[in-house]
Amino acid sequence: MTKETQFTVGDYLAERLSQIGIINHFVVPGDYNLKLLDYLEYHPKLSEIGCCNELNCAFAAEGYARAHGISAAVVTYSVGALTAFDGIGGAYAENLPVILISGAPNTNDINSSHILHHTIGTHNFDYQMDIAKNLTVAAVALRRAHEAPRLIDHALRQAILQHKPVYIEVPTNMATQPCPKPGPISAVIEPETSDKASLEQATDVAADLISKSEKPLMLAGPKLRAAGAEKAFLKLAEALDAAVVVQPNAKGFISEEYKNYAGVYWGLCSTRNADKIGEFADFFIGAGTVFNDYTSNGYKVGPTPDQFIDSDYMHVSLPGYEFTRVKMDEFLSRLADKVSKKNATMVEYARIKPALLKYAPANPKELLTREELMRQIQGVIDGNTTLYAETGDSWFNGMQMNLPEGAKFEIEMQWGHIGWSVPSALGYAIAAPKRRTVIMVGDGSFQLTGQELAQMVLHKLPVIIFLINNRGYTIEIQIHDGPYNRIKNWDYAAFMESFNAEDGKAKGLKANTGEELEQAIQIALANKEGPTLIECYNHTDDCTKELVAWGSTVGATNARAPSADQ
């Protein structure tokens, strides 16, 4: 491949992706994007990672954004993009700025009477853009080279400011077109700041409300990390010396070794008596919280509006007030300057704080139980580990894991797409190769996207996958059972090793007993040249009591009869 000397639209996009910090972009090639992929390859600081399909490609980019802050996925028109959209919806739900770049028909064809491949076979070329507009915060289609800088910069800036995915459509004849070189990158990445008057007034009102409360509790939500407000949140916790709880999809955002940490706040599924301290509190100071049907156990968990302050990226809600253009981190930090110590929740928590959950070792010769499995996985988690918990009982097992200082936790609870974990962890491990990435994934979830292990083999990523084989969709069984919740068993360990072909170093192992699991974990920890999958026996009914309790509330919520006034 030789590169033309003139600067083109493809060069512009490549340079901007590099300038915003992207090093690896995730791709599935197709004839509508091949030229563009060449230009991304020409860029000396960009390196592509191929994926098996576009769903996985979008999830891999999503995982890269979790570790690296921002990411890009490049796919072909329709057959690629429509598959990727599922993962892009996930990135939207999970507040991750993924740039989806799709190839598209030649500009001469878009306005002609031609029928094109990879389309529905009509002259409708709008449907892809229509979908993109619903799943992103900026969707642009490049049609003229001179507009490309403006449209690309707009999309990238929105991704960065809003922590959400964006869409850039690049026709197959566009990457080669001459285009001006980029201006300063600050135009794209410079952060927004709060309106000073609104910030002062919001923090005055909040400080007053807190001073009138007696037992304020701090609550971290899933948008806290995207807002980059963790430090400011802790500054406020220190100023108040209040107890700190987190929503399940914010687990790991606050160190579990922080002295005021009081667990996961999730009703019956809470850890470390977080629910009890929630009942004791008379005021909640939230940051980036979201109470959906799952995280509120069917709208039963959570503060009432009159006892709740919450801050989003760019606004603050207080009882009777709403302030726009107030940034979460600036709000929390400024509020910390205005409050004095109010530690009733911490005093109470010291009284009710339970000992950390710890399972006694099982007989090593006996069939694995869930508890023994979790006891041994807990042993793998050190301060350098990122633990992925897939949809299923892995969510509930994951909640109960104790994270040592430095350990991180990833979950996809708003979108809740089974099969997310393997491709997302691929992207994560590419972005953070020095961390130990560990996945807990059920058999049902794994069957959706397991082939992306191939990339972990290719890139020699020592990811450890605990495949929990309970022969079915146990989470669904707990919500509502039927024959559809039983699935075909696979030989998962053999599946893993099939990706080795002639050169891979992956290991696929089976553990039916505690002893076998211990040995498998030793082999996994020693395997630095590829992933290790450990297929772990787990009886279908041997699940957490939290899943059982949660499943019945979700089942009941789903089954509510239509309201009379609907």
Name the minimum Å distance from CB 393 to ligand TPU.
4
Residue 251 binding ligand TPU, by CB under 6 A: no
Contacts with ligand TPU, 375-394, as mask; x by CB under 6 A: ----------------xxxx
Which is closer to ligand TPU, CB of 216 or CB of 398? 398
Considering only residues 109, 312, 412, 443, which one is a binding residue for Mg ion as defined by CB under 5 A? 443
Contacts with ligand TPU, 407-436, as mask; x by CB under 6 A: ---------xxx------------------
Strand duo 166-171 + 261-264: pairing: unpaired
CA distance 125 to 203: 49
354's torsion region: left (phi>0), alpha (psi -120 to 50) or beta? Answer: beta
Q: Report the binding-site residues for Mg(2+).
A: 443, 470, 472
Which is closer to ligand TPU, CB of 457 or CB of 475? 475
**Residue 150 burial by Cβ neighbours in a 10 Å radius (0-12, 13-18, 19+):** exposed
Q: Which residues pair with 310 in a beta bridge?
A: 317
Interacting positions 467-486 with Mg ion (CB under 5 A): 470, 474
Residue 89 binding ligand TPU, by CB under 6 A: no
Q: Report the binding-site residues.
A: 443, 470, 472
Residue 470 binding ligand TPU, by CB under 6 A: yes
Pick the stretch among 121-129, 161-169, 441-449, 529-537 that binds ligand TPU (CB under 6 A): 441-449
CA distance 354 to 373: 22
CA distance 32 to 214: 62
Q: How many CA atoms lie within 13 A of 136 on its CB side?
A: 31
The three-state secondary structure class of 419 is coil
Considering only residues 167, 313, 323, 473, which one is a binding residue for ligand TPU as defined by CB under 6 A? 473
Residue 452 binding ligand TPU, by CB under 6 A: no
Residue 532 binding ligand TPU, by CB under 6 A: no
391 contacts which partner out of ligand TPU, Mg ion, none, CB within 5 to 8 A by kind? ligand TPU
CA distance 254 to 42: 40
Residue 267 binding Mg ion, by CB under 5 A: no
CA distance 37 to 258: 45
Tokens of 555: 């089942």
Assign 3-class secondary structure to 537-555: ECCCCCCCHHHHHHHHHHH
Name the minimum Å distance from CB 397 to Mg ion.
12
Pick the stretch among 98-106, 260-268, 356-364, 443-451 that binds Mg ion (CB under 5 A): 443-451
Q: CA 158 → CA 15, 151, 155, 188, 225, distances in Å? A: 17, 11, 5, 9, 17
Which is closer to Mg ion, CB of 249 or CB of 474? 474
CB count, 10 Å around CB of 291? 17
Please report, as ranges, the residues that interact with Mg ion according to CB under 5 A. 442-444, 470, 474
Contacts to ligand TPU by CB under 6 A: 391-394, 416-418, 442-445, 470, 472-476
